[in-house]
Protein backbone atom coordinates (compact mmCIF):
# COMPACT_ATOMS: atom_id res chain seq x y z
CA UNK A 1 0.00 0.00 0.00
CA UNK A 2 2.86 2.40 0.77
CA UNK A 3 4.40 1.85 -2.67
CA UNK A 4 1.23 3.10 -4.46
CA UNK A 5 1.13 6.21 -2.28
CA UNK A 6 4.80 6.90 -3.04
CA UNK A 7 4.17 6.61 -6.79
CA UNK A 8 1.16 8.95 -6.55
CA UNK A 9 3.28 11.52 -4.67
CA UNK A 10 6.04 11.13 -7.27
CA UNK A 11 3.65 11.84 -10.16
CA UNK A 12 2.10 14.79 -8.32
CA UNK A 13 5.58 16.22 -7.80
CA UNK A 14 6.44 15.74 -11.49
CA UNK A 15 3.16 17.45 -12.48
CA UNK A 16 3.82 20.38 -10.15
CA UNK A 17 7.34 20.77 -11.54
CA UNK A 18 5.98 20.80 -15.10
CA UNK A 19 3.43 23.49 -14.26
CA UNK A 20 5.85 25.70 -12.37
CA UNK A 21 8.47 25.33 -15.07
CA UNK A 22 6.08 27.16 -17.42
CA UNK A 23 5.83 30.20 -15.18
CA UNK A 24 8.41 32.90 -14.57
CA UNK A 25 9.21 34.81 -11.37
CA UNK A 26 7.71 38.33 -11.55
CA UNK A 27 11.05 40.09 -11.10
CA UNK A 28 12.49 38.25 -14.13
CA UNK A 29 9.62 38.88 -16.56
CA UNK A 30 10.04 41.59 -19.18
CA UNK A 31 7.74 42.89 -21.94
CA UNK A 32 9.60 40.83 -24.53
CA UNK A 33 8.88 37.61 -22.59
CA UNK A 34 5.17 38.10 -23.13
CA UNK A 35 2.71 37.87 -26.01
CA UNK A 36 0.44 40.91 -25.76
CA UNK A 37 -3.14 41.68 -26.69
CA UNK A 38 -4.79 45.03 -26.01
CA UNK A 39 -8.18 46.67 -25.94
CA UNK A 40 -9.55 50.12 -25.12
CA UNK A 41 -12.30 49.79 -22.51
CA UNK A 42 -15.00 52.45 -22.04
CA UNK A 43 -14.48 52.89 -18.30
CA UNK A 44 -12.17 54.89 -16.03
CA UNK A 45 -8.93 53.22 -14.94
CA UNK A 46 -10.05 52.77 -11.30
CA UNK A 47 -13.20 50.93 -12.44
CA UNK A 48 -11.22 48.65 -14.78
CA UNK A 49 -8.65 47.98 -12.05
CA UNK A 50 -11.39 47.06 -9.55
CA UNK A 51 -13.08 44.76 -12.09
CA UNK A 52 -9.84 42.88 -12.69
CA UNK A 53 -8.92 42.50 -9.01
CA UNK A 54 -12.41 41.31 -8.06
CA UNK A 55 -12.65 39.12 -11.18
CA UNK A 56 -9.88 36.89 -9.83
CA UNK A 57 -11.53 36.34 -6.43
CA UNK A 58 -13.19 33.09 -7.44
CA UNK A 59 -10.43 31.94 -9.81
CA UNK A 60 -8.95 28.65 -8.66
CA UNK A 61 -5.75 28.98 -10.71
CA UNK A 62 -4.51 32.56 -10.42
CA UNK A 63 -4.18 35.48 -8.01
CA UNK A 64 -3.64 39.15 -8.88
CA UNK A 65 -1.23 41.56 -7.20
CA UNK A 66 -1.06 45.13 -8.40
CA UNK A 67 -1.25 48.81 -7.71
CA UNK A 68 -2.09 52.10 -9.36
CA UNK A 69 0.91 54.42 -9.59
CA UNK A 70 -0.26 57.75 -8.11
CA UNK A 71 2.23 59.74 -10.22
CA UNK A 72 1.57 58.27 -13.68
CA UNK A 73 -2.03 57.13 -12.98
CA UNK A 74 -1.11 53.81 -14.64
CA UNK A 75 -1.50 50.37 -13.11
CA UNK A 76 0.37 47.08 -13.36
CA UNK A 77 -1.20 43.83 -12.15
CA UNK A 78 0.97 40.71 -11.93
CA UNK A 79 -1.08 37.52 -12.25
CA UNK A 80 0.42 34.79 -10.07
CA UNK A 81 -0.07 31.06 -10.39
CA UNK A 82 -2.06 29.86 -7.40
CA UNK A 83 0.03 27.62 -5.19
CA UNK A 84 -0.60 24.60 -3.02
CA UNK A 85 -3.60 24.97 -0.66
CA UNK A 86 -4.60 28.33 -2.17
CA UNK A 87 -1.35 30.09 -1.37
CA UNK A 88 0.17 32.49 -3.89
CA UNK A 89 3.06 30.87 -5.73
CA UNK A 90 6.10 33.02 -6.58
CA UNK A 91 5.59 32.61 -10.36
CA UNK A 92 3.67 34.91 -12.69
CA UNK A 93 1.73 33.64 -15.67
CA UNK A 94 1.14 37.11 -17.02
CA UNK A 95 0.87 40.84 -16.52
CA UNK A 96 -1.97 43.29 -17.12
CA UNK A 97 -1.08 46.94 -17.73
CA UNK A 98 -3.65 49.73 -17.54
CA UNK A 99 -3.13 53.18 -19.04
CA UNK A 100 -5.73 55.97 -19.01
CA UNK A 101 -6.67 57.13 -22.51
CA UNK A 102 -9.11 59.74 -21.17
CA UNK A 103 -11.21 60.23 -18.04
CA UNK A 104 -13.67 57.63 -19.34
CA UNK A 105 -11.47 55.21 -21.33
CA UNK A 106 -8.61 52.86 -20.39
CA UNK A 107 -6.11 50.99 -22.54
CA UNK A 108 -5.81 47.43 -21.19
CA UNK A 109 -2.75 45.39 -22.25
CA UNK A 110 -2.75 41.72 -21.28
CA UNK A 111 0.52 39.83 -21.61
CA UNK A 112 0.96 36.09 -21.16
CA UNK A 113 4.18 34.13 -20.93
CA UNK A 114 3.52 31.78 -23.82
CA UNK A 115 6.78 29.86 -23.65
CA UNK A 116 4.69 26.74 -23.22
CA UNK A 117 1.74 26.79 -25.62
CA UNK A 118 0.19 23.70 -24.07
CA UNK A 119 -0.82 25.63 -20.94
CA UNK A 120 -1.21 29.18 -22.28
CA UNK A 121 -1.95 28.62 -25.96
CA UNK A 122 -4.45 30.20 -28.31
CA UNK A 123 -4.77 33.42 -26.29
CA UNK A 124 -7.71 32.31 -24.16
CA UNK A 125 -6.26 33.80 -20.97
CA UNK A 126 -5.56 37.18 -22.57
CA UNK A 127 -9.09 37.22 -23.99
CA UNK A 128 -10.53 36.29 -20.60
CA UNK A 129 -8.65 39.08 -18.84
CA UNK A 130 -9.67 41.66 -21.46
CA UNK A 131 -13.31 40.55 -21.16
CA UNK A 132 -13.21 40.92 -17.37
CA UNK A 133 -11.68 44.40 -17.78
CA UNK A 134 -14.60 45.31 -20.06
CA UNK A 135 -17.13 44.17 -17.44
CA UNK A 136 -17.83 40.52 -18.30
CA UNK A 137 -18.14 37.84 -15.64
CA UNK A 138 -15.08 35.66 -15.03
CA UNK A 139 -15.15 32.47 -17.08
CA UNK A 140 -16.58 34.04 -20.22
CA UNK A 141 -13.66 32.92 -22.44
CA UNK A 142 -12.22 30.10 -20.38
CA UNK A 143 -12.52 27.32 -22.99
CA UNK A 144 -9.06 26.11 -23.94
CA UNK A 145 -10.09 24.31 -27.09
CA UNK A 146 -11.40 27.30 -29.08
| % of the chain with per-residue pLDDT over 70 | 60
Residue-wise pLDDT tens digits, 22-62: 555 655 677 787 889 999 999 999 999 999 998 887 666 77
Count of domains in the chain? 1
Mean pLDDT, all residues of the chain: 76
89, 81 Cβ separation under 8 angstroms: yes
* Residue 99 near residue 74, CB atoms below 8 Å: yes
Residue 143 lies inside a defined structural domain of this protein: no
| Domain extent at residue 35 | 2-133
- Give the C-alpha separation, 12 to 16, whole Å: 6
Rounded to 5 degrees, φ, ψ at 81 are -65, 130
Residue 110 lies in a domain: yes
Q: What is the Cα–Cα distance from 109 to 2, expressed in whole angstroms?
A: 49
The answer to whether position 69 is within a domain reads yes
Query: Would 56 be classed as within a structural domain?
Result: yes
CATH code of the domain in which 127 resides? 3.30.310
Residue 142 domain-assigned (yes or no)? no
In a domain, 113, yes or no: yes
What is the distance between the alpha carbons of residues 126 and 96, in angstroms, rounded to a whole number? 9
Residue 17: inside a domain, yes or no? yes
Decide: pTM greater than 0.85: no
Q: Is the pLDDT of residue 18 over 60?
A: no
User: pLDDT band for position 143 (50/70/90)?
Assistant: very low
In a domain, 27, yes or no: yes
- At 145 the pLDDT is 37
Amino acid sequence: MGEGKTMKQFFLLIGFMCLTGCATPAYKMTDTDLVWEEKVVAAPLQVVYDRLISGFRDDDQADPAGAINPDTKEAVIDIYLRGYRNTIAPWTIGIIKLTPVSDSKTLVRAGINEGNLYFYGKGYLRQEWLAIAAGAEAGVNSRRDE
